[in-house]
Structure 1
Amino acid sequence: MKKIFYAFTLLIFVQINVTAQVSIKGKVSDNYGEPLFGASVLISKTNGTTTDFEGDYKLTEITPGNYVLKVTYIGYKSQEIKIKIAHNNLVLNFNLTPSSEQLQEVEITGRKEKSYKNNVTFAATKTATAIKDIPQAVSYVTKEVFADQQAYRVNDIVKNISGVNMYSYYDDFTFRGFRSGDTYINGLRVVGLFGPEPLLANIERVEVIKGPASAMFGNSIPGGVMNRVTKKPLSHENKAINFTLGSFNTLRTTADFTGPLNEKETLLYRMNLAYENSDSFRNLQEFKSYVIAPSISFLPTSKTRINFDLVITNFDGKLDRGQPIFGATSGSDIYATPISFAIGQTNDYHKSDVVYSTISLNHQFSDKLSFNTSYMKYLFDEDLQEHRTSNQFAIDGTGASIPTLMGMMVIKRQGQTIADNLSSYFVYKEKTGGLAHKIVAGFDYNQQQSPIGNAQSMARGYRLQGGGASTSASDFANFQLDNNGNPTPNVPHFNLQNPTYSVAQLSDYIFNVSPTAPTKYFTYGAYLQDQIKWKQFQLLLGGRQEYYNDVVNYDQTNEEITTQHKFLPRIGLVYSATQNINLYGTYTESFQPQGVASLNNPQAGGPFDPVNAFMYETGAKGEFFNKKLSANLALYFIENNNILVNANDANNPDLLIQRGQEQSKGIELDVNGKILPNLSITANYAYNEAIITESDNPAEVGARKENAPLHQGGVFGKYTFINGELKGIGITLGSNFVGERVTRVSTLQLPSYMVVDAGVSYKVDKFNIRFLVNNIGNKTHWVGGYSYTRLYPGKPRNYLLSVGYTF
């Protein structure tokens, strides 16, 4: 009887407690009454929610008591109110006002906004600055676009950036007509990867600072700098996993966990994981990779913030050197071979490991003075074995080309490259009269080295009668001849009409073994910058003194150092024409030293002067639809001098020549954000005329630069149904086009193309299902290319299906 009484009492207590729980609901809007989608509403550390497309929120199962209700939204001032909950449900609405306050000087904690639009960049000025207030074009792609386009690599998302297109399959792009392989992560220069396409699993956004950026980054190309910003910890708990399958036997999985590690929220974490195992539409190609990327942020006081990142990435596949086609003369059919056609052998491989770690510190001495420093250690290990084209066709007994037989070479390479990067600077804010100053004074140091032990062996050319092999046309008379009277190749030719793939016997080849001498380069620079604000005007003045030192035979008795240096100015002006539109103009310069291998190689034909460039740019930046949509318009002129190119001398493959001058001018437009609460869009267009204006070869003057289309652009949008029976269903539609491009061979031009992508998604509760079809029309196209022997076709029609869960 006593047990029954206790059970009955407990049942009454539970019933009273349940009925006592109440709820709070309401709407979060801006001061214009527009709903804010994705605003955070918190009543305790464990009870919170976000607003829906209509700005509505609801908190349930709240026990009566005293609470503090807090509402936050990126770019707006937070609101807190004290409430007392009795036994009645509450309705509380909030109107948030915009805030110009920057959350942090360096990116220590993560970006909370969930949009195609990004408001702030840290790389363009070394401080947290609104993109609208920077007197230079800055384009970007956010992780929200990555997700909706199911993009997995950087190469998948450059189509969303005006004036940027792929040059090849590698980490290799054209910016405003100028080729670059430079790589920056969180504003720090790292090793440019050759082959592995960088993954996006741990990337928050990709930014491109257009035009010369040497005043901030030191030596760089004039077209622009691509910066990849890694994901940082968030102060609220969030966990997400995603599984993807698709064409070409694609299997992928990703996980993203973040949140506080202690009650005071002074220790935050983030863990990103990814794995892929897939084939390709290209013969022999495959991708096996994984990413492990933990990140910790420590916020011991309101004045000190520390972040630590570690990223471990592994690539295991083959190096795709592109598609060859028949013929090497004008009129050859670019469609002569299928886009799946690749040259190589079954036992080729390309393995690489990338490990890098970063530690960043931000300390606020006072409201006026802060100190920021970041250090990155970056290691790249490579193990390569490949059969690849020698970039020319086989020759017969008369020296004429045989367009159906491809000349081949074999490369075996093992080695490591190490990079260290340190960036330290002070930020001082002061007012003098009606002028507000933000002064940045800093010092950067970067070094990259290839230690002892790196080595490469190569087999190529034709067998010589006295033994050995040669690639020089001057040895033609001494080549061994086969039964048909043709020169005998060191590595068998690849038959384009009857291709065969097998396990090649490398012992049959004559290798030229060449241990790589240890090398090192280090560069450092001191810079001073002042962002001055007066009424509607913002003036940016900056200058950097850069020193570049290239070392060969590093740490050996015959060590040699070559030093190049330059002062790099930067000036820009922003005028706030209206509350939503800024006009700007800028002048800046770039500096790109010649590589020491070119300078000190007697066969290269040097010495050579450094590459230097300058740019004039003007434009407008605006925010529309209640600041949910940004639009950037830029007009520019760039002049680049002293460019090194290969002389294409058959008797000396290493010979280089210095092209006098190149110019690039054009107009760009980027649009990102929301037109409606349930309609997101990213769009871009670029007109770029990049031509050779001075050259020792008169035939080159006036010619277009390689892989630099005159027109390119695209649009991608997502519409989500928020009411009715279709609620939760999203429709995505996109298209991108690239105009005709010339290659390194004057007789070869890549055709223009336009591809269309479409997809559908369904979000229900915590599940998100996405289905996407890329290149619906199955358009045959090429994203880049060098010559008839190395073209880079785009993917044919393919699909991706993913299932994600957030908890």
Structure 2
Amino acid sequence: MNFIQKGLPLLFIICSIPQLLAQDTQKDSITRLDEVVLTQDAIPKKATGITASSKIAGQTFERFNPTDIPSAINQISGVYILSGTINTNRITIRGIGARTPYGTNKLRMYFNGIPVTNGTGSSTIEAYDFENLGAVEVIKGPKGTAFGANLGGAILLDTKASVEDRTQLINSFTIGSFNMLKDNLTFSHSEDGLDISLSYNHLETDGYRQNSQFQRDGLLLNTKFRTGQKSSMALLVNYIDYTAHIPSSINQTDFEEDPTRAPSNWLESQGYEANKYILTGLSHTYQFSEQLQNTTSIFYTYLDHYEPRPFNILDEFTNGFGLRSRFTGNWGKADFSFGGEFYNDEYHWGTFENLYEENDGNGSLQGTQLSENIEFRRQFNLFGTLTYPITTKFSAQLGLNLNKTNYDFRDLFNQGAENASAERDFDAIVLPNLGLSYQLKNGNIYANVGRGFSNPSLEETLTPGGVINPDIAQETGTNYELGTEWMLFNKKLSANMVLYRMDVKNLLVAQRVGEDQYVGRNAGETRHQGLELDLQYRGRLSRSLSFSPYLSYTLNDHSFVDFVDNDNDYSGNPLTGVPKNRLSSGIDFRHANGLRLNLTHQFVDEIPLTDANSLNSDAFNVFHAKLGFRTSLSQNISLGLNAGVNNIFDANYAQSVLINAVGFGGAQPRFYYPGNDRNYFGGVQLNYVF
């Protein structure tokens, strides 16, 4: 069944509602509508100058279960999070990152302006509590310059801002299916020259599948204080401690017959991962003059990770530290930004035998050590942008990023000829981009061309024997983009459309050669081209009832241009791991009495699971609904209630997939991570203002 027939059950509603309504043009209604628009637009844009970006904030977050950050970010066209479990997320932007076996790479992630991507380009969205986020901004493709020039782009996470001149205590408590319990307690205080927020969060759930229990505790401290008339300091501390059991992927038979199953070896070993993660950052901002400002941050990260798997036990820790300094200002008519970012981490890891088969059904048991390694990873970025208004309506922006990456791998286990120690020092790479923007009466048209890169992951730098591959090269690509943004019908309708093409060379391929062994190599070229469309309408059914239908559509026409794997020529095939069509749609209703209703829908087209395109996942539609109510109990206390249902029609769908899966020992290949069946949640929020 094609895309038009398969998806879009809500699209008819979205398109037809405005035609069924009599337009309410009363002045007070328009004023209320403008307040909603201003609330969203009040969140400062972080992307430099005329650089295009996409942003979601409070209204988008409110539509979903507070444990479901993937669904919120999937509202952004061109961005797709494949979520195997709470702790297994793979973010792809315009198809970049789709070939990563597990986790997220090929993009840069920042948390309150501090880089949180590690030395090989890996980022973990699950290290942050959804309820602490105030906004998520996405720069698609290698045009961010100040936030790296990675092929995937950049994701900028920002915490909720304290309400000015207010002291408050907020507790949000949620329960749901699979014995899910979540609590977030936040104290915030704001007065002249001081903003402070302290949050504690707890989450536990048994999960939908076998061996999918999850428990997390976290603390977040975010404070900013003025140190002088021209200067201020900010301190950020984020601590997460979680244990997540791993149900792993399953084969097609299990997916169709009983998607709750976990593979027998993962179930018997009771595979899991335990993580302790801390991020600390100290930032100083100084206003030299009206024309020049600087923000400098120093930061430290630590990750302690222990993961028993059926094939071995991984024990690792990472120490990372760095500095980022950025100057912004203007010189005559031109705006400028320049600075540098240095990041260094030390990754220690070892593997051990897993003797779970000898442990009388008690799960994993650590045995003899198999390896011990350390890798030093350094990245240095210099960046600068210059934005100049050629006329009152026409602006140009030139950006330049320079990256230098070094890996130093040391084998501490093997001696003599078997020792695999090696160093990989990549040449410095220069990454320019040029942007143009033309302002129209109700919108603008923009264009961008830029060069980007991706570093190989740890697995991609090593051969099966654990030796660094001296021939592995960085992926490079050129991105071409043409877009337009409009605000129409008295700002009731926002419409954004982008056409892009990205040509990627030296495609990095992680080829699976064992249950936990991958070989990295550069295998050819890909072409990423597509269309992204975002529509949102804000209207009123009456003086007290507003509605807002929306739609985000992504067309991915991604393919291998030149890809020969041994004797197999896959040139011309659609890119593995990327759905051709994807759509997020829905409608929000809000009443003046505090009642709100959110109906959301996601359509994902079939996904090629093998490079030969011999197998595809099934396309699917998933629907969610959430009902909320907020009221004041007194001058100081407000109450919020909500209840929701996910996967209303109980679809059996793959929320994530593993591409090019291989079956070992005659077993079927395990391609699928099932999404949850129909499930429910409900919550209460109390807000006390001192």
Establish whether residue 278 from structure 1 lines up as the match of residue 209 from structure 2: no
Long gaps (5+) in structure 2: 1-25, 98-103, 414-418, 633-637, 662-668
Tell me which residue corresponds to 2:101.
Answer: none
Structure number with larger C-alpha Rg: 1
Contact 1:554 1:560 in 2 (8 A): no
Q: Is residue 338 of structure 1 aligned with residue 259 of structure 2?
A: yes
Aligned partner of 2:433: which letter?
A: R
Matched residue of 1:779: which SS?
coil
Counterpart selection for 1:526 from 379, 382, 390: 382
1:269-320: CA deviation from partner (whole Å, max 9, x where unpaired)? 1122211121111112111112211211102444222211111111122133
CA deviations over 1:57-90 (Å, ceiling 9, x no partner): xxxxxxxxxxxxxxxx996xxxxxxxxxxxxxxx
SS in 1 for 2:130: coil
For residue 449 of structure 2, what is the amino acid of its counterpart? Answer: Y
Conserved 8 A contact 1:234-1:270:
no
1:414-453 counterparts in 2 under 5 A?
Answer: 414-431=315-332, 436-451=333-348
Q: CA deviation at 1:634?
A: 0.6
Q: Could you give the per-residue CA deviations for residues 383-431 of structure 1, whole angstroms, max 9, x where no partner exists?
A: 22233xxxxxxxxxxxxxxxxxxxxx2x212221122232212223122
Contact 1:349 1:386 in 2 (8 A): yes
Residue identity opposite 1:711 in structure 2:
N
> 1:704-731 deviations in whole A, cap 9, x for unaligned?
2222111001123321222xxxx33222
Q: CA deviation at 1:230?
A: 2.3
Contact 1:201-1:291 at 8 Å conserved across structures: no
1:350 matched to which residue of 2?
273
Residue 323 of structure 2 aligns to which amino acid in structure 1? L
- Deviating more after overlay: 795-804 vs 757-766: 757-766
Task: Kindly indicate whether the alpha-carbon contact (under 8 Å) linking 1:447 and 1:523 is maintained by their aligned counterparts in 2.
Answer: yes
TM-superposition CA deviations, 1:143-180 (whole Å, max 9, x none): 33223312324323232111222344223122111214
Kindly report which structure 2 residues correspond to 1:180-329, keeping only aligned pairs within 5 A, or say none.
Answer: 180-181=104-105, 182=107, 183-190=109-116, 191=118, 192=122, 198-213=128-143, 215-218=145-148, 220=150, 222-237=151-166, 238-260=168-190, 265-326=192-253
1:145 is matched with 60
Shift of the alpha carbon at 1:141?
2.2
Q: What secondary structure is seen at the aligned counterpart in 2 of 1:776?
A: coil
Question: Could you tell me whether the CA contact under 8 Å between 1:139 and 1:670 is conserved in 2?
Answer: no
- Is 2:684 aligned against 1:800? no
Letter in 1 for 2:642: R
Larger mean CA deviation between 333-342 and 298-307 belongs to 333-342
Change (3 A) 1:166 1:292: same
Determine if contact 1:241/1:804 at 8 Å carries over to the other structure. yes
- Pick from 476, 484, 509: which aligns with 1:620? 484
Counterpart check, 1:774 vs 2:641: no
Q: Which residue of 2 aligns with 1:96?
A: none
Cα distance between partner residues in 2 of 1:418 and 1:276: 26
Greater displacement, 607-616 / 170-179: 170-179
Distance 2:681 2:363 in 1: 35
Tell me how far apart the structure 2 counterparts of residues 228 and 554 of structure 1 sit (CA, whole Å).
36
Return the offset for 1:586. Answer: 0.3
1:696 is displaced (CA, Å) by 2.3
Shift of 1:687: 0.4
Out of 544, 547, 553, the residue aligned to residue 404 of structure 2 is: 547
Distance 1:321 1:197 in 2: 20
2:607 and 2:267 map into 1 onto residues whose CA distance is 27
Contact 2:68 2:130 in 1 (8 A): yes
1:437 shift after superposition: 0.7
In the aligned structure 1, how far is the partner of 2:247 from the partner of 2:346? 26
Distance 1:301 1:422 in 2: 23
CA gap 1:763/1:429 in 2 versus in 1, 3 angstroms: same
Q: Distance in 2 between matches of 1:615 and 1:732?
A: 36
Q: For 1:543-564, what per-residue CA distance to the aligned partner results, in whole angstroms no more than 9, with x for missing partners?
A: 1222111122299997735232
Figure out how many residues of one structure are paired with residues of the other and give that number: 616
Query: Deviation digits for residues 181-213 of structure 1, max 9, x if unmatched?
Result: 354323433233679564313221222211124
Name the CA distance, whole Å, in 2 between partners of 1:650 and 1:597.
Answer: 12
Contact 2:320–2:343 at 8 Å: present in 1 too?
A: yes
1:690 to 558, 562, 568: 558
User: Letter of the aligned partner of 2:189 in structure 1?
Assistant: G
Report the counterpart of residue 427 of structure 2 in structure 1: 564
- How far 1:505 moved relative to its partner? 6.5
Output the CA distance in 2 between the equivalents of 1:370 and 1:590. Answer: 28
Q: Does the CA contact (< 8 Å) of 1:550 and 1:596 recur in 2?
A: no
Q: CA deviation at 1:764?
A: 2.4
Following superposition, the deviation at residue 735 of structure 1 comes to 0.6
Structure of greater relative contact order (alpha carbons < 8 Å, 6+ residues apart): 2
Q: Residue deviations 1:461-492, cap 9 Å, x none?
A: xxxxxxxxxxxxxxxxxxxxxxxxxxxxx986
Change beyond 3 A, Cα 1:32–1:764: closer
Q: How far apart are residue 339 of structure 1 and its match?
A: 4.1
Q: What TM-score, normalized by structure 2, do the two folds share?
A: 0.82
> 1:148-159 alignment to 2 at 5 Å?
148-159=63-74
2:626: which partner in 1? 759
Quick one: percent identity of the two aligned structures? 20
> Are residues 763 and 351 of structure 1, via their aligned partners in 2, closer, same or farther at CA, if it must alter by over 3 Å?
same
8 Å Cα contact 1:631-1:671 kept in structure 2 = yes
Aligned Cα RMSD in Å? Answer: 3.3
Question: Residue deviations 1:563-594, cap 9 Å, x none?
Answer: 3211110110110011x201000001112233
Match of 1:455 in 2: 350
CA deviations 1:679-714 (Å, max 9, x no partner) are: 345531100111111022453111122221110011
Deviations 1:735-784 (A, max 9, x none): 11100101146433111001111222222222111111111100110022
The answer on whether the counterparts of 1:756 and 1:776 sit within 8 Å (CA) in structure 2 is yes
- Report if the CA contact (8 A) 1:684-1:713 is conserved: yes
Shift of 1:519: 1.0
Distance 2:259 2:531 in 1: 35
